Chains A and B, each alone.
Chain A
């Protein structure tokens, strides 16, 4: 497989639709992310190929790409969950991950799930404070099996928040939620991000979600960041903001979906 510059899809090079990939300013700050020369293969299939990525401190970045393009692989590599990845990765020390499935331990009460792996005094109070931020303080003593899908995902979010992460990795965290619950969860994430200002990498296949939340939307293709879109729309963003609609059309076109909004 050759480099992404030769192989990129026909539409992806046109200059007005995207900036050159992976060139955003991100000094090797303790709260930012700096990835260089990232490679990962599964068998003979090279999923990530010399990938470069920078996330500025406090920046909200969304990562889009067709299914199987390596979005989750990249997130797992940055989260330190993939021991077989090659390359250079700088991340803040305090990093938290929210997965597509809530991944709560069914045998621990909600608050014990939130403080999993934490040490120190009065864990319960810290858990309840974090649960309060996602509106679930009163479910602190419940078993995870008694929560709804949206509630479980909010507990997973509280479990990440309680660690006061400098980098928050979200791996399609709302993918399994119904439309209404997803919309609320997205607003919640936006509010929490504005309050705590971690750097965020959001992996998603939902173009609108990326445009609602992110400062920058990246398109993954051919094993690297193929294209990049700055989303400079004031928040909170209405879904029918004209610039958002225009960007949506370009992103969909970049993802190879025709019939999106014409640009």
Chain B
């Protein structure tokens, strides 16, 4: 029994366990607390710094051969690209493609998952075809989409749209199926109807899993962008990469690679911030 157990009765003060005498309590509290603030930030930065250092050292000593650009030359290429305005233009085009694709794909995946999760017959109808389609690597659709939707933006948007649908669908459905039925029963005994159950019990209960789906969906969105921009385009950071390959500009190629990584990390960070706000009630295992 936890030592801070409050007495059951409100009325005449029951024999509550006396508070622990002074010296013992603060010590137990101080022990086992996670390090905070600066220490955590330092730990998080140190790993990244080590990778950069290794990269710098490796190119300097020639461990990686002559075709690997040094961090310094990549930085120079980045500055050059930024100053010419090329990079901004290509980045905006790419962001637009991912944005459009995700703006359509994420709601689609959510709606399909919710419909199947909340209504049995929808699941029976939807699930088999979606499971079959899911097994198809959606990137293999790229050539087909170019024939169907042309070499313009539509085929790229469609390709980026289709990828995130499946992880979202599966995670939303799985999240809903994983909601504790005892909670549903208790809420029903409190008089909640179908809509109330969905809003107060089923959706919040599925939310952690829905966030997992969202993070996977974003990752797949960026992945699909890479493939979509490798053919039939003259803009976007993927084109920048293809173009650099023609001129053996490995430094520019690395600029694009780092950009992909940063974009992925940033979008993931965004979801994690959302997640932390939405799932403030959770007390999961935080590691030791």
Q: Which residues of A contact B (CB under 8 A)?
A: 79-81, 95-97, 99, 101, 103, 105-108, 116-118, 132-136, 143-146, 148-151, 154, 159, 163, 178, 180-181, 184-185, 187-188, 191
The answer for the CA separation of A144 and B182 in the assembled complex, in Å, is: 16
A-chain residues with CB within 8 Å of residue B200 when the two chains form the complex: 105, 108, 116
- Find the B residue at minimum CB distance from A116: B190
Query: Would A106 and B282 be within 8 Å (CB), given that A116-B192, A117-B190, A151-B5 are in contact?
Result: yes
Contact between A135 and B6 (Cβ–Cβ < 8 Å)?
Answer: yes
Query: Would A135 and B8 be within 8 Å (CB), given that A101-B182, A106-B282, A181-B1 are in contact?
Result: yes
The answer for the CA separation of A144 and B180 in the assembled complex, in Å, is: 16
A-B contact pairs, 13 of them (CB 8 A): A79-B189, A81-B188, A99-B182, A103-B182, A107-B204, A108-B200, A116-B192, A116-B200, A134-B8, A163-B190, A180-B1, A184-B8, A185-B8
The answer for the CA separation of A143 and B280 in the assembled complex, in Å, is: 9
Contact among A117, A148, A150 with B191 in the assembled complex (CB-CB below 8 Å): A117
Is there a chain A Cβ closer than 8 Å to B58's Cβ? no
The answer for the CA separation of A79 and B6 in the assembled complex, in Å, is: 30
Closest CB of chain A to B127's CB: distance in Å? 25
Is there a chain A Cβ closer than 8 Å to B244's Cβ? no
Interface string of B195-208 (1 = CB under 8 A from A): 01000110011010
Q: Which residues of B contact A (CB under 8 A)?
A: 1-2, 4-11, 14, 182-183, 185-192, 196, 200-201, 204-205, 207, 279-283
The answer for the CA separation of A116 and B188 in the assembled complex, in Å, is: 10
The answer for the CA separation of A70 and B10 in the assembled complex, in Å, is: 35
Contact between B196 and A117 (Cβ–Cβ < 8 Å)?
Answer: yes
The answer for the CA separation of A70 and B279 in the assembled complex, in Å, is: 38
Contact between A135 and B183 (Cβ–Cβ < 8 Å)?
Answer: no
Closest CB of chain A to B206's CB: distance in Å? 11
Contact between B8 and A116 (Cβ–Cβ < 8 Å)?
Answer: no
Contact between A187 and B9 (Cβ–Cβ < 8 Å)?
Answer: yes
The answer for the CA separation of A105 and B184 in the assembled complex, in Å, is: 9
Query: Would A103 and B8 be within 8 Å (CB), given that A97-B189, A145-B281 are in contact?
Result: no
Interface core residue of B187, B190, B191 (most chain A CB under 10 Å): B190
Closest CB of chain A to B21's CB: distance in Å? 21
A-chain residues with CB within 8 Å of residue B5 when the two chains form the complex: 148, 150-151, 181
